[in-house]
Amino acid sequence: METMVKLNEDRTHMIQDWLSPPDSSTNFTDALKLRQPGTGQWLLQHGAFSAWESKPKLVWLYGIPGCGKTILASTIVEHLQHSHPDSVLYFYFDLHDTSKQTHYSMLLSLVYQLYEKRKEARCHLDSLHASCENGRTQPSFDELFIAFQNMVQQVGEVWIVLDAIDECTTRNGQQAGGLLSWVKDVRELQMKIHLLVTSRPEPDIKAVIKSCSRRQDMIHIERELIAEDICRYILTRVRLDQRLKRWQSRPDVRDKIEDALMERADGMFLWVSCQLDALEKCPDFDSVKETLPSLPMALDGTYARVLANVPQKHQQYITRILQFLIYSKRPLRLEEVVDALAVRLEDTPPFDPKDRVDDIQEILDYCSNLVKITTITEFNETVKYIQLVHLSLKQWLRSDRLDERNGEHITKTAANTVITEVCLTYLLDIKNELPPHLLRLARPLAGYAAAYWVDHVVMGNYRGNPGRDLVLEFLKSEKSFQIAHKIRDKHSGRAPPALHFAVSQNLTYYVRLLLEEEGVNVDARDQNQETPLIAASRAGYEDFVRLLLDKGAGINAEDGPGGNALQTASFLGHENIVRTLLERGADVDARGQLYGTALQAASYRGRENIVQVLLNWGADVDVRGGPYGTAHQAASGRNHRRIVEMLEVVGA
């Protein structure tokens, strides 16, 4: 028996490692911590919710920013975990966390939750794992969706809660049509799927919901519905919160605070929370009397007031924190932010551990309505993350509604410029080639900087001095570039040459600058023996192909394990690059290990237009070799009849 349990646990861990599904339980528990006892009961008693719980259908819970949708979603999940413990699945879309922003990530999470909870349905995901080379490749969205359908069919009935679908970055995406298309597909399945989604009333979401759900299944979080919940929240905070203790023995002050907040809450929990945070800082009754009449009417005004009240000595810290949090590519650990603050771009050395702030909480206290610290457990380790408090704040900070003093530093270009400089300065300052795991401990920001500096260069569109020179310095610094490569890829393999890296990352401006460098080797190969020209041909970067050829790149350079430039472009369907290479003198019949000839590669992949181009250039249809045999055999084996006919016309 113990052996069987151990085998099941090992199998579950293997599937988890393969899928790497995001963990939404952190969002669930964080939301429950914020909920006051007794709130949300109106929703559980709502006719539309009761009907949804008993009968498979789609329900949409929607409302304005800050009205408590995520907390209500967690109330629903908690309720379902008592009534349907083995059949409730949930996912929280989260713009603070890039792993929780796509419908593919959502499906990974839902499928894995079902796998964990229902052993009888595991065979379908196990089968998909086997078909993906026993976990060596990732399943496509369609493959995963089919497995999901089979698993649901097996278990019979499921309840699914999706929170904040307006924060899904692929809700109208190309992959499988996007999240909204998936919602419609689920509604059309003849299965017992109870699907509830929450969001703001965005037009595209509203249009799709209306097309596949009834009006009585749309629950609008109106002020009247949550007035009692907000009242309970205000009373609990004012009368029991230790941070407001000074007023709990003063009924006159307490009543004024409660009345003012209840009168002006306008259905927004977040607004109430922000005002209470501000009132906590009032040292005396005169301050309270002064603050209450001046409470801002909306969230924008609340955020603006917080920024305006930041002391000058902390302004630079708050600005950099916001720059990173608005544009970071993933959630940031507290220690990463501490090191980002310690980078002094104008100093020598630019980073000194002594410059780390002793108590970052002192700084964060001045912007408590803007950022929050979330503590979670990862792999038996307690980790603190720092995040913006709400999506509405991120949108406001990225809008044109900020005052000039703050707005100029938080524009996309300005913020990403600073982040680029901080990341590269930090990496260039690393001198000790420690193993990656030890280096990450000594230099917490190194992992983020190594993984994402390119993204910030692209987002910043930064071409001016000193940023331009800093990027070039880093690309040409073999030691720093190698250290960053080890941190990013977690192995000791050789970093690619700077030119190859710039080409593969589509850094157009820096490719041009590197090509202007005296003595640059345009044919320098990476550890896979791939030249920059092959990399450009693989990625479909026509401009790079021309630039490299103009600089004398070897067009017929022998390939390593992969194909040469012409074979690679033919295999991947980049017709314009194929034409350019042929016009510049590429050997149309050159043979490679991976693709054979360009004609064989194009024939195998069914690239009719490229086959015709190659034939027009006199490609030999009878050449044998490579993995496909002749071009005719390659096309026949894949049942590309039109190409077979084209080849036979010229004598294959």
Are the beta carbons of 91 and 109 closer than 8 angstroms?
yes
Last residue of a domain, one of 348, 372, 402: 402
Alpha helices in 161-268 (DSSP H): 179-188, 203-212, 223-240, 251-264
136-145 per-position pLDDT tens digit: 889 999 999 9
Are the beta carbons of 541 and 509 closer than 8 angstroms?
no
Quickly tell me which residue has 């310095």 as its tokens: 473
Q: Assess whether 482 and 375 both reside in one domain.
A: no
Residue 173 pLDDT exceeds 70: no
β-strands 218-220, 88-92 pairing: unpaired
Lowest mean pLDDT among 3-7, 154-158, 274-278, 496-500: 3-7
The pLDDT value given to residue 368? 75
| Residue 343 placed within a domain | yes
Helix %, strand %, coil % for the chain, to 5? 60, 10, 30
Neighbours of 160 (CB within 10 A): 22
396-435 per-position pLDDT tens digit: 888 888 877 777 888 888 899 999 999 999 999 988 777 7
Residue 273 pLDDT exceeds 80: yes
Neighbours of 428 (CB within 10 A): 20
Q: Which two tokens stand for residue 44?
A: 């559980």
% residues pLDDT > 90 (the chain): 53
The pLDDT value given to residue 57? 95
Residue 494 pLDDT exceeds 70: yes
Q: Assess whether 395 and 317 both reside in one domain.
A: yes
Q: Which residues does 355 contact at the CB level (< 8 Å), separation at least 6?
A: 342, 344
Q: Assess whether 386 and 443 both reside in one domain.
A: no
Q: Assess whether 505 and 394 both reside in one domain.
A: no
Question: Within 13 Å of residue 116, how many CA atoms lie on the same side as its CB?
Answer: 14
Q: Which residues does 37 contact at the CB level (< 8 Å), separation at least 6?
A: none
Q: Assess whether 205 and 67 both reside in one domain.
A: yes
Q: Assess whether 363 and 477 both reside in one domain.
A: no
Give the domain range for residue 232: 225-295
The pLDDT value given to residue 528? 81
Q: Assess whether 377 and 462 both reside in one domain.
A: no
Here the CATH number for the domain that contains residue 324 is 3.30.420
Burial class (CB in 10 A: 0-12, 13-18, 19+), 323: buried
Mean pLDDT, rounded, for 257-284? 88
Q: Which two tokens stand for residue 524?
A: 């320098």
Q: Which two tokens stand for residue 342?
A: 């310690």
Last residue of a domain, one of 177, 194, 221: 221
Report d(CA 289, CA 272) in Å as an integer.
17
Are the beta carbons of 621 and 595 closer than 8 angstroms?
no
Residue 165 pLDDT exceeds 60: yes
Bridge partners, residue 160, by sequence: 89, 195
| Residue 182 placed within a domain | yes
Are the beta carbons of 112 and 15 closer than 8 angstroms?
yes
Residue 466 pLDDT exceeds 70: no
In terms of Cα–Cα distance, which of 510, 319, 547 is closest to 424? 510
Q: Which two tokens stand for residue 205?
A: 């979401």
The pLDDT value given to residue 493? 66
356-403 per-position pLDDT tens digit: 988 888 788 777 778 888 887 777 788 888 989 888 888 888 888 887
Q: Assess whether 144 and 215 both reside in one domain.
A: yes
Amino acid letter, 346: E
5-24 per-position pLDDT tens digit: 555 777 889 999 999 999 99
The pLDDT value given to residue 561? 62
The pLDDT value given to residue 2? 54
Last residue of a domain, one of 221, 248, 271: 221
The larger pLDDT score, comparing residue 171 to residue 407, is at 171
The pLDDT value given to residue 359? 81
Q: How confident is the model at residue 176 (pLDDT cuts 50, 70, 90)?
A: low
| Residue 407 placed within a domain | no
The pLDDT value given to residue 357? 87
Q: Assess whether 87 and 142 both reside in one domain.
A: yes
Report d(CA 94, CA 24) in Å as an integer.
9
| Residue 335 placed within a domain | yes
Angstrom CA distances, 97 to 289, 325, 588, stand at 40, 11, 47
| Residue 86 placed within a domain | yes
Report d(CA 616, CA 610) in Å as an integer.
10
On average, the pLDDT of the chain sits at 89
Residue 559 pLDDT exceeds 80: no
Report d(CA 503, CA 535) in Å as an integer.
7
| Residue 51 placed within a domain | yes
Report d(CA 88, CA 376) in Å as an integer.
22
Mean pLDDT, rounded, for 533-548? 94
The pLDDT value given to residue 243? 84
Q: How confident is the model at residue 478 (pLDDT cuts 50, 70, 90)?
A: confident
Report d(CA 210, CA 117) in Å as an integer.
32
Encode 244-272: b = buried (16+ Cβ within 10 Å), e = exposed.
beebeeeeebbebbbebbeeebebbbbbb
Residue 601 pLDDT exceeds 70: yes
Q: Assess whether 502 and 572 both reside in one domain.
A: yes
Domain count of the fold of the chain:
4
For residue 351, the SS3 value is: strand
Q: Which residues does 390 contact at the CB level (< 8 Å), separation at least 6?
A: 65, 66, 270, 299
Mean pLDDT, rounded, for 103-129? 95
Lowest mean pLDDT among 249-263, 487-501, 602-616: 487-501
The pLDDT value given to residue 652? 61
| Residue 305 placed within a domain | no
The pLDDT value given to residue 462? 59
The larger pLDDT score, comparing residue 467 to residue 292, is at 292
183-237 per-position pLDDT tens digit: 999 999 989 999 999 999 999 999 999 998 999 999 999 989 999 999 999 999 8
Q: Assess whether 361 and 432 both reside in one domain.
A: no
The pLDDT value given to residue 314? 85
The pLDDT value given to residue 560? 61
Here the CATH number for the domain that contains residue 106 is 3.40.50.300
% residues pLDDT > 70 (the chain): 96
| Residue 566 placed within a domain | yes
Lowest mean pLDDT among 243-257, 391-405, 459-473: 459-473
The pLDDT value given to residue 168? 93
Here the CATH number for the domain that contains residue 631 is 1.25.40.20
Bridge partners, residue 381, by sequence: 378
Q: Assess whether 325 and 423 both reside in one domain.
A: no
Query: Number of H helices and number of E strands within the chain?
Result: 35, 8
Residue 582 pLDDT exceeds 80: yes
DSSP class of residue 55?
A: S
